[in-house]
Structure 1
Amino acid sequence: MIGSFAALLLGFLLDLCFGDPQWLPHPVRLIGWLIQKLETLLRAHFPKTKRGEQTAGVLLAVLVPLLSLFAVGALLFLFRKINVWLYFALETLLCYQMLAAKSLRTESMKVYDHLRKDDLEGAKKAVSMIVGRDTQALSKTGVTKAAVETVAENTSDGEIAPLFFLALGGAPLGVFYKAVNTMDSMVGYKNERYLHFGRAAAKLDDILNFIPSRLSAWLMILVARPLGLDAKNALRVYRRDRFCHASPNSAQTEAACAGALGVQLAGDASYFGKLVAKPTIGDKMRPVVPEDIRRANRLLYGASILMLLLCMIFRFCMLLCWG
């Protein structure tokens, strides 16, 4: 228990310092490879009908997270048998790699840097690396909103939710969550290819993110005032707009962020060449500006630090109860 407590803390600090170096092998890449291989295998063995694709999708949604969980659990068990410090190093590395605050800030700030230089094409290219929507036709305001929305949404998916599951079950449960989240990002689309096949993965992701997304929003509201942002408006907009999204979770953090910044986010967006009508989130108290990307990242870091404190308190209480 003490080792897991320290591994989580050290993993958090490593992420803040180093982010996701490209040279370092990452579990998510292996999970992505597993998803691709299983998708090919399952599609080959099930009929291309609605029921066949749904059945194959359910099997994918079961196999990917469970295989990831068991693989990490077995590896940690083996390392612990060899040497307790080797076990601690592996768990720390896995905790570190489940978190994405530094990487999210780095990638979103690339958009900010291009916008500050009035390099709209460069900003479009940078934002296309972190969003799923079409970016080529976006204006400067559209690019800025896309970056802010991504930071807001991924405050939960990329940081608070992993911390939540790492605190509950250590690296194995953290990897389980990351497997589901990665699966949703790869197959959870409502297009012709994945409408039926990716439904189970998308629903499972919604279930796992139900508590973390709401926790993330409240953490953002709590840290808004100390960060010089509008906590009162964040709470007001959150209560009003937290369900203004097709996903039951995505608008939770976007609403808190929009309120804290005093801007309007979301609205219609284009995906795979098709315009999708979406409600707006927040009030147009002022235009969205590049500086809002920096402000959104402050919310990300503030919420992350507060979540870490909660995780440490939870782990400490578990330590007192169970030893």
Structure 2
Amino acid sequence: MLPSVVIALAYFCDLIFADPYRIPHPVQGIGVLINAAERLQGRLLLAKKAFGVWSNLTVLVLIFCLSLVMANLHWLVEMYLLYTCLATRSLYNEGAKVRRILNQGDMALARKELSYLVSRDTAAMDQAQITRSAMETISENTVDGITAPLFYMCLGALVSPWLPGASLAFAMTYKAINTFDSMWGYKNERYLELGWFSARLDDWANWLPARLTGAVLLPLSALVLRYDWRSAWRIFWRDRLNHASPNSAHPEAAVAGALGVQLGGATSYFGQLHDKPTIGDNNKPFTTELINKNLNLMLVCSLLSLGGVLLVLIIVSRV
């Protein structure tokens, strides 16, 4: 079956069913491999940084090769595994859940639900802080969970005539990079050196998808939804570097501009208050309706991403 068709089917499976919680998820398997690699530390005579590089490359090559094999078993296997690389529906559901709980006025439950989505301290957050945090994680994960996986599916599909199954191999390897960063990419004593390469690799993998999302896809989404697409474009270019991460502020800046809010600012992580640079202009208060608008932006962005992928593959197939 054509890679473009398999990718489209995978996208709509994700949109309809969300993450398959009752079925073992491939990312869980990747996590098992990463934990197994960490247990090897100390047995190999390597410095922490060198061990981190070795672990990343070993697991990533294994995931890449295994994905090629799985993709060539049957197109249904490939479609299912591609579907697990996407998170449009799950991200929408989690954001909508926080919004619904806030509307019900249950602040304690809202803080608890948010704590499953972010690494920051949520225990003392008020309604505005919860809303801002939800919007920041939705915006950032629009890249990690949607546009970047679709980007690598497309890249793999372009080389699949010479390397059958590359669409899945590229996407699943990206998810492995992302998982390494989520498990090892902490700046603490345990992972500062061990996870250095994981964090850098994730930055490199997201470099182009983050910029395409912030500069093109989100302003176009704002235009479709009749939000302020001009401000999305303007704030993107002004504030896209206002973050410790080289990529996170790109989608956040476009969303902040489109919705007229200011993201960033004082945020508590593991008991320490960090004064993060601000992103956007403080034109509107943080109401729960803004979460809904952010989710609408994310949904349209995902559809435009899929459309862009299919358009590229159709054009290339006719050249």
Instruction: Classify the TM-score, shorter chain.
Output: over 0.9
1:97 and 2:84 correspond: yes
Q: Is the partner of 2:224 in helix, strand or coil?
A: coil
Provide structure 2 residue ranges, at least 5 long, that are not aligned to the other structure: 157-166
1:66 and 2:58 correspond: no
Structure 2 length as normaliser, TM-score?
A: 0.94
Point out the more displaced range, 115-124 or 225-234. Answer: 225-234
* Percent of aligned positions that are identical: 41
> Which of 123, 130, 137 is the equivalent residue of 2:117?
130
Assess if the C-alpha contact under 8 Å between 1:254 and 1:265 holds in 2: yes
- Residue pairs, 1:1-323, within 5 angstroms: 2-46=1-45, 52-77=47-72, 79=73, 87-169=74-156, 170-217=167-214, 218-321=216-319
Assess if the C-alpha contact under 8 Å between 1:3 and 1:88 holds in 2: no
Provide structure 1 residue ranges, at least 5 long, that are not aligned to the other structure: 80-86
Q: Is the partner of 2:276 in helix, strand or coil?
A: coil
The separation in 1 between residues aligned to 2:4 and 2:233, in whole angstroms, is 32
Deviation at 1:75, TM superposition (A): 2.3
Deviation at 1:43, TM superposition (A): 4.3
The separation in 1 between residues aligned to 2:90 and 2:297, in whole angstroms, is 15
The separation in 1 between residues aligned to 2:131 and 2:142, in whole angstroms, is 17
Deviation at 1:160, TM superposition (A): 0.2
Assess if the C-alpha contact under 8 Å between 1:69 and 1:175 holds in 2: yes
Deviation at 1:44, TM superposition (A): 4.0
The separation in 1 between residues aligned to 2:286 and 2:307, in whole angstroms, is 31
Q: Deviations over 1:41-86 (max 9, x none)?
A: 1244346xxxx11111111221222111111112233x1xxxxxxx
Assess if the C-alpha contact under 8 Å between 2:70 and 2:78 holds in 1: no
Deviation at 1:273, TM superposition (A): 1.7
Deviation at 1:236, TM superposition (A): 1.2
The separation in 1 between residues aligned to 2:127 and 2:110, in whole angstroms, is 8
